[in-house]
Amino acid sequence: MSYSKITILRSFFIPLLLMSCLILIRWHYGVLLFHTLAELFSIVIGILMLVVVWNTRQFTHNDFLIYLGIGYFWIAFLDTWHTFTIKGMPFFDIVNAEPTLHLWIYARLTEALLLLSASLFLKRKVNAYLVFYLGAALSLIIIWASVNLQQPIMLTAGGLTNFKIAVEYLVIFLLCIAAYNYIINRQLLSAEVLYYLLFSIILTVSAEFFFTQYTDFNGVPFVVGHLFKFLSFWMIYQAIVLTTLKKPFSVMALASNSYDAIPHVAVVVDKLGMISQLNRCAENEAGLAKEVLLHQHIHKYFHPENTTIQSCELCTHIYKGQSLDSKLVHFPEKNQWMVISLAAIKSANITSGMIQSSTDVTAQVIASQRLEKSETKYRNLIKNLKGHYFIYAHDAKGMFTYVSDSMTQILGYTADEFLHHYEKYLTDDPINKKVHFYTDKALKGETQKPYELSVYHKDASIRYIEVTELPVFDDHGKVTGVDGIARDITDKHFAEHEKDMQQRFLQSIIDGIHDPVMVIDKNYQVKLMNTPIKKMMNNSNVTDITNPKCYEVFYNRSTPCDGIDHVCSLKEVISTKKSITVVHNHLDLQGIKHYFELSSAPLWNDEHNFIGVIESSRDITNHLRIQDELRKQKDILSFQVHHDILTQLPNRLLLLDRLKQSIKKAYRNKQKLAVLFIDLDHFKEINDSLGHNVGDQVLINAADRLKRCVRETDTVARLGGDEFTVLIEDIYDNDIVTDIAANIIEVLQKSFVVEEHSLYVTSSIGISLYPHDAESADNLLRNADAAMYKAKDEGRNTYRFYTEDMTQKAFEHILMERNLRHALKNNDLIVYYQPQVNGKTNQIVGMEALVRWQHKELGLISPARFIPLAEKTGLIIPLGEQVFDQASEQMALWMKDYELTGRMSINLSFKQLQQENIVETLLAILKTNNCETQWIELEITEDHVMNNPERAIATLQKLQENGIEIAIDDFGTGYSSLSYLKHLPINKLKIDQSFVRDIAEDEDNRSIITSTISLAKNMKLNVIAEGVETIEQKQFILEQGCDLIQGYYYSRPVPEKEMTELLNSADWQAL
């Protein structure tokens, strides 16, 4: 059949609807979901192309379509990889866009070459399996090259590379050549297929042009390009479906309604005589609509009323399945004569029904009866009988005496030619034995049944006629000849033959489709079904196996589908006259539930009247199961993204989202909210001393306590480490906030029992209020953080509300950190040196390296300002290495020129001591500076060691084994354990200046110094006192047996140049 422009335009409805959905998805859910769905639509279409052409190839024998279907399948395979390798998809760990872009460009180049080369198979045969395997090999090579080589580069920070753009234009050029090829070979393609092919190429060219304009993943060219690409795939798919499915099924629909073309009554009945089909002539004859006549017994409307069903000869033939040829039947109630024939409908040699054809010959019969009385009327009747009938007569000897002029229209002869050519009735040729048999009966006066006969036209073509003959009697009852009526049934014969061939062809097509397919009429009767559905059918559920219902065949039901769970697709299509897709669940023969996706499309006749549906189904049970698993995985991933894995509390991402929503709500309702920033005091000591497993359990228990301290509407979140945040909404009084903060401090300071350890932590809480302290989420968190540090500075285990000066201090903190990083980068830090002197001889024996920061604008900055900042930010590690480098390099120079008996004392920070490779780092610096290890002494504090004694001891032993001595700085100010101290690999104790400063007034300090010196001697350790500023302090230190002194009494810390001058001229004998 030919397709109108309206039919073609209808093919755009589904893709345009899908494109609209894609645009909405892009607008509301982002480009990643849009891209994934757009590509998946194209991928599904590509796969469907192969499914359709592969399963219909043995019937269509269209090598051009087979080649296209295989090619687009492998292009869909490449597009699948392109889709799943894009950044943001969870399947591959792709760090850049190169694999994705390579897969894209090679897929498009492959598509262009496919369309260009496909025209070769308009006249040539194709080896489908060879093409399929070559496509597989090429696809695998492309995937490997795209993922592993990633060359040449497709995308840079500045946008698409020239190579990428050039290849896109190459694809456009190849597509244009392909379009030209199809135009010059258009005589080999139907107009509709050529239209879809050219339109698809134009869309692909447009898509490629937009991708040359691509600058941004979120840009308009990216979106439009993918929409055009999807639409181009749809057009190719339409070309394949049009050729392989739509036209054959349209032909079937036309054939199924060919009854209406028959000019006499035609009725189809089942074995019981129930009407299943009839034509318009039959409707007109009965005076009732088809809907009323269907499923009624034929006898009531198309057999004489003066007989019962049991006595009716026609009904008897129907029940026995016996044919009946041209029986002349009288209907006395209408005074009507009909020539009726019955033909059996057989399937696999089993009669499933009958076709009754009835021709009204009342006029002919009446004319025959009145022939002798009214010859003129008889002749007029014969002359006016045109078209499909002619009348003849022959005498008792078989000699033709008359033939009507309508003979010419049927057999091509004029009446005279026929009478001259066939002097005797069709001669004695053996082919006419059938004629002789019936003619002899007529000449014997017997009533004849109509019979079919094949005869030759004047042009030698075969014609098929249905002949009814009646004996002619004289007044004495003697047969004087035969009158006959011949009806031309050539068209009917070929139509029935064509319909039978078409039905077999269509049956073969749908048998090649793996999914169940049925053709269903408006009364639920299955007119065609393929092999898969026959295998699924349970015959015990089918009432009439010759006319099964769709709900019996496929759904094992006794009534049509209904309800929300089992929507009847036939009813929906009848109602909407549109295709529909629904999902049903049914039990199979083993009682297992399966989910099926049903797709139903309407079927129309030539008058565009709805005649039924074609329904295909696919078992999607496994697909739905996988979807459900993916949905669960998505929920798990979403939870992991927005929650802290350890405590299951909301993380920073979810907290910020809730905080922003709460701010909007508070703004609308003119309410207040509070943010509490909570830090666990001294939690680090638990981690360092007992391990992270114990620390993690403390955090989990702390999270549980925090949740019990707040209302259900409030949010508790963990930002990381030992930091928690609480969001409190709907505040009408600040007392609510203080009550919650006080409650948190109280519950957190209670002991945590973990692995038989009773552990104690306190908390410092900073509080900021909306809208008083800030109006944005980030500022509220930042201000609460600043208030928390204020709480720590003021003794910990308390809470503080945010104030303005905290922001200034935080700003100064940030500025100081930035300047310190700049100073480290530009070597603005300098090393000062303070001599270490033998108090008895007043000789310099060594010195301590002390870092200073010479700022261009702020001048010399005290270490007390920047060392704590460096320790907090981790900058203490590069700072310490820089000081060690400068000091060791200078020590190597001084050792060449002076005989120093002491060492260069350099401070080692806690974070440096915790480094895995600290020993190797320091030894490498010494080697670079040509500084011997015996010239170096490292100072550490008691706290540094006691945080992780075992690890610290191991590191210090390695340093000592390499010749570096170890000194304990600020001894007595920490909380060291003598049991650990005796195991420490140390060489010297350094008395803290806080004890030396007040020895004249403080008896306790004098006792501590005396005890420390005594302890050092007993442990065979050297001892040095720092902070000595007066002669009285010096004398006391010497009297207690400590000879080594460091302090302002001898010298302040001085730069390298002044230290060199001291080494050259120092003479403190007078001191």
Query: What are the residue boundaries of the structural domains of the chain, listed by start?
Result: 5-245, 258-360, 372-494, 514-618, 646-802, 832-851+876-1065
pLDDT band at residue 583, thresholds of 50, 70 and 90? confident
pLDDT band at residue 805, thresholds of 50, 70 and 90? low
Please report the pLDDT score of residue 20 as a whole number. Answer: 76
Please report the pLDDT score of residue 589 as a whole number. Answer: 65
Please report the pLDDT score of residue 12 as a whole number. Answer: 65
Please report the pLDDT score of residue 6 as a whole number. Answer: 55
Q: Is the pTM of this model over 0.85?
A: no
514-618: which CATH topology?
A: Beta-Lactamase (3.30.450)
Could you tell me if 853 and 829 are in contact, meaning their C-beta atoms sit under 8 angstroms apart? yes
Candidate ranges 57-61, 129-133, 182-186, 577-581; pick with highest mean pLDDT? 129-133
Please report the pLDDT score of residue 649 as a whole number. Answer: 92
Task: Specify whether domain 646-802 bears CATH 3.40.50.720.
Answer: no
Please report the pLDDT score of residue 246 as a whole number. Answer: 56
Listed range (39-53, 350-364, 423-437, 722-736) with the worst mean pLDDT:
423-437
Task: Specify whether domain 832-851+876-1065 bears CATH 3.20.20.450.
Answer: yes
E strands in 839-917: 843-855, 859-861, 904-907
- Distance between CA atoms of 130 and 136, rounded to whole angstroms? 10
Q: Taking 50 as the threshold, does the pLDDT of residue 755 lie above it?
A: yes
How much is the average pLDDT of 529-540? 73
**Token duo for residue 774:** 């800030």
Please report the pLDDT score of residue 428 as a whole number. Answer: 43
Maximal C-alpha separation, the chain: 182
Please report the pLDDT score of residue 255 as a whole number. Answer: 44
Please report the pLDDT score of residue 188 as a whole number. Answer: 77
Q: What does 966-995 look like in DSSP terms, one character per residue?
A: EEEEEETSS---HHHHTTS---EEEE-HHH
- Distance between CA atoms of 958 and 919, rounded to whole angstroms? 7
pLDDT band at residue 360, thresholds of 50, 70 and 90? confident
- Distance between CA atoms of 313 and 296, rounded to whole angstroms? 18
For the chain, what percent of residues have pLDDT higher than 70?
A: 87
Q: What does 118-183 look like in DSSP terms, one character per residue?
A: HGGGGTS---HHHHHHHHHHHHHHHHHHHHHT--S--EETTEE-HHHHHHHHHHHHHHHHHHHHHH
Domain 5-245 maps to which CATH number in 2.30.30, 1.25.40, 1.20.1070, 1.10.260? 1.20.1070
Please report the pLDDT score of residue 430 as a whole number. Answer: 47
- Give the pLDDT confidence of 168-220 residue by residue, as tens digits: 888 888 888 888 888 888 877 777 778 888 888 888 888 778 777 776 667 77
Q: Taking 80 as the threshold, does the pLDDT of residue 448 lie above it?
A: no
How much is the average pLDDT of 592-607? 80
Match 């030396």 to its residue by tokens. 996
Q: Taking 60 as the threshold, does the pLDDT of residue 371 lie above it?
A: no
- Give the pLDDT confidence of 895-915 residue by residue, as tens digits: 988 877 789 999 998 888 888
pLDDT band at residue 387, thresholds of 50, 70 and 90? low
pLDDT band at residue 1071, thresholds of 50, 70 and 90? very low
Helix (H, G, I), strand (E, B) or coil at 593: strand
Q: Taking 90 as the threshold, does the pLDDT of residue 165 lie above it?
A: no
Compare 668 and 511 and report the one with higher pLDDT: 668
Candidate ranges 53-57, 139-143, 637-641, 1042-1046; pick with highest mean pLDDT? 1042-1046
Task: Specify whether domain 372-494 bears CATH 3.30.450.20.
Answer: yes
Please report the pLDDT score of residue 739 as a whole number. Answer: 84
pLDDT band at residue 1032, thresholds of 50, 70 and 90? very high
For the chain, what percent of residues have pLDDT higher than 90?
A: 20
Helix (H, G, I), strand (E, B) or coil at 451: strand
pLDDT band at residue 427, thresholds of 50, 70 and 90? very low
For the stretch 948-953, contacts whose Cβ atoms lie closer than 8 Å and that sit 24 or more positions apart, written own/partner, are 948/688, 948/689, 948/914, 949/980, 951/914, 952/913, 952/984, 953/980, 953/983, 953/984, 953/985
**Token duo for residue 100:** 């994705």
**Token duo for residue 312:** 């009716």
CATH homologous superfamily for the domain 258-360: PAS domain (3.30.450.20)
Q: Across the chain, what does the average pLDDT equal? A: 81
CA R_g for the chain: 52
Residues 6+ apart with CB under 8 A from 665: 671, 729
Which amino acid does the sequence have at 370? R
How much is the average pLDDT of 818-826? 88
Compare 593 and 297 and report the one with higher pLDDT: 297
Could you tell me if 208 and 186 are in contact, meaning their C-beta atoms sit under 8 angstroms apart? no
Listed range (18-22, 162-166, 208-212) with the worst mean pLDDT:
18-22
Could you tell me if 971 and 995 are in contact, meaning their C-beta atoms sit under 8 angstroms apart? no
Listed range (100-114, 412-426, 738-752, 932-946) with the worst mean pLDDT:
412-426
Torsion of CA 996, 1002, 1008, 1011, to 10 degrees: 100
Please report the pLDDT score of residue 251 as a whole number. Answer: 46
Query: Which stretch of DSSP H or E encloses residue 307?
Result: none
DSSP code at position 245: I
DSSP code at position 862: P
Q: Taking 80 as the threshold, does the pLDDT of residue 502 lie above it?
A: no
Compare 680 and 598 and report the one with higher pLDDT: 680
Please report the pLDDT score of residue 663 as a whole number. Answer: 93
Residues 6+ apart with CB under 8 A from 282: 265, 266, 267, 293, 302
Listed range (283-292, 389-398, 930-939, 1042-1051) with the worst mean pLDDT:
389-398
- One fold for both 646-802 and 832-851+876-1065? no
Please report the pLDDT score of residue 186 as a whole number. Answer: 80
Which amino acid does the sequence have at 851? V
pLDDT band at residue 254, thresholds of 50, 70 and 90? very low
pLDDT band at residue 11, thresholds of 50, 70 and 90? low
**φ, ψ at 210 (rounded to 5°):** -65, -30
* Separation in Å, CA 603 to CA 747, 822, 1051: 75, 79, 107
Please report the pLDDT score of residue 379 as a whole number. Answer: 54
Please report the pLDDT score of residue 157 as a whole number. Answer: 65
pLDDT band at residue 978, thresholds of 50, 70 and 90? low
